[in-house]
Amino acid sequence: MTTNLVRPHLALLAASAISLAASSTQAEPPLRAAPPSDAEVVRRIDFLQARLDRGTAAANRWWYGWYGGWTVLTVGQGVIAIAVTDPGLRTDAAVGAVGSSLGLIPLGLAPFPARHAAADLRAVPASTPEERRTKLARGERLLRESAESEVLRRKWFNHVLCGTVSTSVGLVLALGYGRPVTGALSAVAGIALSEAQIFTMPTAAIDDWNEYRNTGGAGSVGRARRPAPEFSWFVAPFAGGAVVGGSF
């Protein structure tokens, strides 16, 4: 019964991840009245590189924090499900491990360009005017894709999908295995975790892309912008009890 209920949500999560990856190729570059001079190209590249560099640390903290958190919950509950002999606790742990593993799918399948965009741009050569124009186009695409990924991950359907999956996992415990208390705890904590993951995601690339589109990077490279969330606490179900943790 658990497999039958979880399988459709695996398909939904995979489809969402594929849609996220595909959408990153559909957007327009900044409008230009005329081709920029070589000096202007250099200035824009510097702007793009600086902004992508500044977003890398927060993007990695968010991605590794949540990927690591979901992995710990999945593996930990899986080990408990194998080790314990109490039927109720084993059920709680096994279903909890399946539910936690679903949180890994969007992170593993859908790209998060802000993590590697700065390194990708830095690797592009820029020794000639032609190479610099190519690098500028690459930098614009990387910043645009980073912003699109952040926008898409915060859209309404992510909240609906996460709520549906968490509620379904809770119903499996409550109705399928007669564990209503653990089922309710699992559903509430799952929704809270998923919402925290969405709202703690860095959004600096959105601001940077909008600024670049509006000004061509004419503003100060070091201008202060909205800070990314540094740390978030969460409480999650863990084999019939709860675990408290956080994400950087």
Find the mean pLDDT for residues 169-180: 96
pLDDT at position 27 over 80? no
pLDDT at position 22 over 50? no
Rounded CA-CA distance 200/48 in Å is 23
Tokens linked to 241: 């009890």
Distance of CA 205 to the CA centre of its chain: 13
pLDDT of residue 242: 44
Beta-bridge partner residues of 245: 234
Of 239 and 219, the one with more pLDDT: 219
pLDDT of residue 35: 83
By percentage, how much of the chain surpasses pLDDT 90? Answer: 70
- Would you tell me the crossing angle of helices 180-199 and 156-171 to the nearest 10 degrees? 160
Residues 6+ apart with CB under 8 A from 21: 109, 110, 111
**Are the CB atoms for 136 and 45 separated by under 8 Å?**
yes
What pTM was computed for the model?
0.76
pLDDT at position 46 over 70? yes
Rounded CA-CA distance 55/31 in Å is 24
pLDDT of residue 247: 45
pLDDT of residue 89: 95
- In the structure, what pLDDT confidence band is assigned to residue 221 with cuts at 50, 70 and 90? low
Cα-flanking dihedrals φ and ψ of residue 247, to 5°?
-130, 130
